[in-house]
């Protein structure tokens, strides 16, 4: 379990005691801590909360040249038409056609011809604000989906704790022309940590607000996916080394090594009623 250095308390125990009496579904039931969840923040002290979201941070690198190229391409689009992304369709008919689709996502980041998934997308037709029902439901749904993907990636790495602590999955929330990036990792213990980046707006005019902020977050997601893919492929390639029983000098190789593993539990199932 994750022992907080600032207090000595176990994160898992704090969450367990809190969720025992909850009347509605929460990410906390799956040991997912969201940095935007005020209720989750209220059960921890200030120094504990800061420690949770400052521990074992991943260093991220970005492709600045790619951002520049994409920005120039979008600039050309705006020169062709003054408002190239203004929608003209009617909203009300689409609302009437809306149906519950369960855990089915709106988009998946995965390898072609491979079962591995690295991220997911949830999208809504219009922006209703952070307190809107669609945003709240999609946030919960996406958080649990990212956790499921993380568990599968961990299994692909034989639950090797040294690798699992470096893995991340990414999520994208779209509401109207708003865009938000999420990342999920397991820094310590069995806690899944979700970090939300600021909302960005894909404006109808190129400089209001700057499109570069949207592209920056998209490239951030790209970098995280590439980093996670490298970790998984490195683990896969290590299996090939086990085919050789002899070293270059013809001596037998002793591969009897024990790795430290971490096994994450299954994600809490969504109840059929009273989800919110």
Q: Encoding tokens for residue 237? A: 């390639």
246 domain residue, yes or no: no
Question: CA–CA separation, 203 vs 78, rounded Å?
Answer: 11
Residue-level pLDDT at 32: 93
180 domain residue, yes or no: yes
Which phi and psi angles does 239 have, rounded to 5°?
-65, -30
263 domain residue, yes or no: no
* Centroid of chain to Cα 6: 26
253 domain residue, yes or no: no
Residue-level pLDDT at 24: 86
Q: CA 68, 75, 218, 199: dihedral to nearest 10 degrees?
A: 120
Q: What is the pTM of this model?
A: 0.76
Plot region of 143 (φ>0 → left; ψ -120 to 50 → alpha; else → beta): alpha
249 domain residue, yes or no: no
Pick from 213, 111, 234, 94: which is nearest to 167 by CA?
A: 234
15 domain residue, yes or no: yes
Which phi and psi angles does 114 have, rounded to 5°?
-135, 150
DSSP 261: B
Q: Encoding tokens for residue 24? A: 């509605």
260 domain residue, yes or no: no
Structural domain span for residue 104: 11-86+93-240
Per-residue pLDDT tens digits of the chain, which is 276 residues long: 999 999 999 999 999 999 998 888 889 999 999 998 999 999 999 999 999 999 988 766 556 666 666 666 666 665 665 554 454 443 333 433 444 434 567 889 988 877 889 999 998 888 888 888 888 888 999 999 999 999 999 999 999 999 999 999 999 999 888 889 999 999 999 999 999 999 988 776 666 667 778 888 888 999 999 999 999 998 877 665 555 565 566 666 665 567 899 988 888 777 665 554
Number of domains in the chain: 1
Residue-level pLDDT at 102: 43
98 domain residue, yes or no: yes
């Amino acid at each position: 379990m994750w022992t907080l250095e600032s207090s000595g308390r176990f994160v898992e125990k704090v969450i367990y005691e809190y969720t025992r009496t909850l009347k509605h579904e929460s990410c906390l039931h799956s040991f997912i801590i969201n940095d935007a969840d005020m209720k989750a923040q209220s059960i921890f002290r200030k120094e504990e909360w800061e420690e949770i979201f400052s521990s074992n941070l991943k260093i991220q690198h970005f492709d600045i040249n790619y951002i520049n190229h994409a920005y120039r391409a979008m600039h050309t689009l705006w020169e062709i038409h003054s408002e190239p992304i203004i929608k003209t369709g009617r909203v009300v008919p689409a609302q009437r056609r809306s149906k519950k689709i369960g855990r089915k996502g709106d988009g998946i980041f995965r390898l072609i011809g491979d079962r591995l998934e690295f991220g997911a997308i949830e999208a809504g037709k219009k922006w209703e604000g952070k307190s809107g029902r669609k945003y709240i439901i999609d946030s919960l749904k996406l958080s649990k989906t990212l956790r499921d993907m993380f568990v599968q990636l961990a299994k692909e790495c034989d639950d090797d704790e040294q690798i699992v602590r470096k893995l991340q999955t990414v999520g994208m929330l779209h509401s109207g022309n708003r865009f938000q990036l999420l990342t999920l990792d397991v820094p310590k213990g069995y806690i899944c940590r979700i970090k939300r980046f600021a909302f960005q707006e894909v404006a109808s005019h190129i400089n209001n607000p700057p499109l570069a902020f949207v592209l920056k977050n998209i490239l951030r997601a790209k970098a995280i996916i590439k980093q996670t893919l490298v970790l998984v492929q490195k683990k896969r390639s290590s299996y090939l080394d086990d085919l050789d029983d002899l070293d270059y000098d013809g001596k037998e190789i002793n591969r009897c090594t024990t790795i430290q593993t971490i096994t994450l539990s299954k994600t809490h199932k969504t109840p059929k009623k009273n989800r919110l």
